[in-house]
Amino acid sequence: MPRPVRISFRALNRLVWTAFVLLLSNQMSIWMLICVLIIYCQLFSFSVHDNVGSGKVFGMAAIYSLYIINKSGGLIYYKDYGSAGRMDTNDSLRVASLWHSMHAISQQLSPVSGCLGIELLQADTFDLHCFQSLTGTKFFVVCEPGAQHMENLLKFVYELYTDYVLKNPFYEMEMPIRCELFDINLTQAVQKDRVVFLGR
Amino acid sequence: MPPVAPRSGDAIFANVERVNAELFTLTYGAIVRQLLTDLEEVEEVNKQLDQMGYNIGIRLIDEFLAKSNVSRCNDFKETTDVIAKVGFKMFLGVTASVTNWDADGTCCSIVLEDNPLVDFVELPDNCQGLYYCNILSGVIRGALDMVSMKTEVTWLRDVLRGDDLFELQVKLLKHVPEEYPYKDDE
Amino acid sequence: MIGVGKVKQYGNVLDKPLNKGKQEVSLSAFAFLFSELVQYNQTQVDNIGELERRLEDAGYAVGARVLELLCHRDKGNRRETRLLGILSFVHSTVWKVLFGKVADSLEKGTEHEDEYMISEKELLVNKFISIPKDMGTFNCGAFVAGIVRGVLDGAGFPAVVTAHFVPMEGQQRPRTTILIKFAEEVLQREARLG
């Protein structure tokens, strides 16, 4: 199976350049380029806003925030774990839809076919780990640079989602998640020492 | 992260929480009874059971993927194999097999010898047209729909109708490859 | 091909030997089925009271059958005739078979002579369910209340059975209490039997 793209900010720069080159060689529409540029700028400014250490509440695995987006790019769950750098609803919605597009574009830009999209984005002040289920739901976590075991955490969040969201008769598919039990279990999972995710 | 090997149906079933099959069987029976009372027509009940199965399928697929570590299936053949060998075992604790492939590999049968839905059940005379287990065909259709496979699932054999086995025919109508939904000219 | 002319394994479902009840399915399979039962019934009602009643009806059908099954298989065709006997049968035998464990507690109501309560910290059917705020005190345990009523009714102990969330001190989640209020005739008979 082809490996998903891992992307750093340097790679992101290259991505923008590639987009230019593709545009010049007429392989890419101007719209896609604009998308890439907007995403680039947005993510950059987003990283500037987010102070290092804002998520360092004791016990938490240095996670700043967690997002779940449905397969059409709508934000269905957002939770932040930092005191500073907290985002308002509009910003979180924007980050979600930007990430959705960015993820999709990365699949198309990949020189190797069968790319499943960006799995990790590393910036100076944060890492962004993303997990997409085969059904198209994306789970991503913004955390301290170098935070460990985030893939396992995301996989675990996916399992919680299948239990406390999908088995809840009052949850409507693709809609925002408002399930008390999901919140409770998620909080426990994030609060537990990160060692919990080591052995999984 | 290195790709994790898919787990066998037996291994998963041994590790998940389980309940007495009788609670499951009797609850399903209560659902069928409710539908027969609400909808009256057996044909309508068949449709509703299929719809309910579909609703379950579109949710259950995620649990299946999360617990089985199954990665993207390359073709329809692999997919049906996984449903029969892992899916049925992991949820219902029974083994199913795949047979009767057609020449172009788009249609096959899933055969079940044991089916916990039908314990205690016998179709009365006024329900002979009922596909009692129609919820199962709906589940398969719904689950596959979520991974971009449009299918048609029909019962070929049904023990409640006097056959020796349960046989579900799964026919692939269309495989919509997962791609970025926006096109350049849109 | 449809198996034309194939003979059924058993001519009649009654000829089939009753299995021991040791077969299992995954909890997930049950949870998805139960979730769909609730969702379907939601489409059939206008208010929460009606939803509760319909879930209770579905449960009743299960309870009535569980009584027959267990009396035949586990009790050699005998059934309880006394109030405490049937209550402990529900609390222990029925619970163990259906939910894999004995219920957390069985208590007599303090205010009314005819009331009994079976409580469970985490009712199996509620394990994955979060009730939306706008549904107030609704509890999917109505289904289990229906099962209990089905068992009691079938055994000749008619009662009104309801499910309630009861907040617990020091616990994040409330427990579910199944409240059983026996019909007057049951208590009268019980008094006669001494």
Residue of chain B nearest C11, judged by CA positions: B162
Confidence of residue B39 (pLDDT cuts 50, 70, 90): very high
Q: Decide if C94 is inside a domain.
A: yes
Q: Indicate yes or no: pTM above 0.90.
A: no
Q: Tell me which residues of chain C have a pLDDT lower than 70.
A: 1-18
Task: Check A167 against C128: CB less than 8 A apart.
Answer: yes
Total domain count, chain A: 1
Q: Decide if C2 is inside a domain.
A: no
Mean pLDDT by 10 residues, chain A (200 residues): 47 56 54 57 46 41 88 93 76 92 90 88 94 95 90 94 98 96 92 51
Q: Decide if B74 is inside a domain.
A: yes
Domain span including residue B163: 42-175
Q: Of C25, C34, C41, C72, which to mutate for an interface test with B (greatest number of B Cβ within 10 Å)?
A: C25
Q: Which chains touch B (3 or more CB pairs under 8 A)?
A: A, C
Chain B contact present for A148, CB below 8 A: no
Q: Decide if B155 is inside a domain.
A: yes
Half-sphere exposure of residue C180: CA atoms within 13 angstroms, side-chain side? 30
Q: Decide if A183 is inside a domain.
A: yes
So what's the pLDDT on residue A34?
58
Task: List the CATH number of the domain containing C176.
Answer: 3.30.1380.20
pLDDT in tens, B83-94: 999 999 999 999
Q: Of A31, A69, A135, A182, which to mutate for an interface test with B (greatest number of B Cβ within 10 Å)?
A: A135
Query: Which has the closest alpha carbon to B184: C6, A144, A105?
Result: A105
Q: DSSP string covering chain C, please?
A: ---TTPPPSSSSGGGSPPP-S--EEEHHHHHHHHHHHHHHHHHT-SSHHHHHHHHHHHHHHHHHHHHHHHHHHTSTT----SHHHHHHIIIIIIHHHHHSS--SEEEE-SS-TTEEEEEESS-GGGTT----GGGTT--TTHHHHHHHHHHHHHTT--EEEEEEEE--TT-SS-EEEEEEEE-HHHHHHHHHH-
Chain B contact present for A34, CB below 8 A: no
Residues of C with Cβ-Cβ distance to A170 under 8 angstroms: 38, 129-132, 135
Model ipTM value = 0.93
Q: Of A130, A160, A162, A170, which to mutate for an interface test with B (greatest number of B Cβ within 10 Å)?
A: A162
Strand A120-122 with A6-8, pairing: parallel
Task: Check C9 against B120: CB less than 8 A apart.
Answer: no
Half-sphere exposure of residue B103: CA atoms within 13 angstroms, side-chain side? 0
Task: List the CATH number of the domain containing A133.
Answer: 3.30.450.70
So what's the pLDDT on residue A49?
39
pLDDT in tens, B138-156: 999 999 999 999 999 999 9
Total domain count, chain C: 1
> Between B166 and A5, where is the model more confident?
B166
Angstrom distances, CA of residue A8 to CA of A68, A127, A142, A157, A195: 22, 9, 14, 24, 26
Say which residues have a Cβ less than 8 Å from residue B125's Cβ, sequence separation at least 6: none
Q: Decide if C92 is inside a domain.
A: yes
> How is chain A split among helix, strand and coil, in percent rounded to 5?
45, 15, 40
Q: How far apart are CA C118 and CA C108, in angstroms?
A: 9
Domain span including residue C98: 26-193
Task: List the CATH number of the domain containing B48.
Answer: 3.30.1380.20
Residue of chain B nearest C101, judged by CA positions: B19
So what's the pLDDT on residue A44?
47
Chain A contact present for B59, CB below 8 A: yes
Q: Decide if A120 is inside a domain.
A: yes
Task: Check B62 against A162: CB less than 8 A apart.
Answer: yes
Q: Of B12, B27, B156, B163, which to mutate for an interface test with C (greatest number of C Cβ within 10 Å)?
A: B27
Q: Decide if A45 is inside a domain.
A: yes
pLDDT in tens, A175-191: 999 999 999 999 988 87
Total domain count, chain B: 1
So what's the pLDDT on residue B183?
46
Query: Which has the closest alpha carbon to B111: B53, B168, B163, B164?
Result: B168
Chain A contact present for B66, CB below 8 A: yes
Q: Decide if C15 is inside a domain.
A: no
Query: Which has the closest alpha carbon to C171: C135, C121, C119?
Result: C121
Per residue, what are the HEC states of A64-76? EEEEEECCCCCEE
Residues of A with Cβ-Cβ distance to B61 under 8 angstroms: 135
Q: What's the average model confidence in pLDDT over B14-36?
A: 96
Residue of A72, A135, A173 with shortest CB distance to B65: A135
Q: Decide if B30 is inside a domain.
A: no
Angle between helices B21-39 and B42-68 (to 10 degrees): 150
Residue of C2, C8, C12 with shortest CB distance to B156: C2
So what's the pLDDT on residue A15?
57
Tokens describing residue C54: 């319909």
Residues of B with Cβ-Cβ distance to A129 under 8 angstroms: none
Residues 43-72 of A with CB under 8 A from B: 72
Residues 36-65 of C with CB under 8 A from B: 36-37, 39-41, 44, 54, 57-59, 61-62, 65
Confidence of residue B74 (pLDDT cuts 50, 70, 90): confident
Task: Check C40 against B23: CB less than 8 A apart.
Answer: no
Q: Please give the interface size between A and B, counted as residue pairs whose CB atoms are below 8 Å apart.
A: 48
Q: Decide if A88 is inside a domain.
A: yes
Chain B contact present for C29, CB below 8 A: yes
Q: Decide if A53 is inside a domain.
A: yes
> Does the pLDDT value for residue B109 go beyond 90?
yes
So what's the pLDDT on residue C11?
59
So what's the pLDDT on residue A59?
44
Say which residues have a Cβ less than 8 Å from residue A71's Cβ, sequence separation at least 6: A135, A136, A137, A174
Q: Decide if A187 is inside a domain.
A: yes
Q: Decide if C10 is inside a domain.
A: no
CA distance, residue B179 to nearest chain C CA (Å)? 29
Residue of chain A nearest C131, judged by CA positions: A170
Residues of C with Cβ-Cβ distance to B135 under 8 angstroms: 33
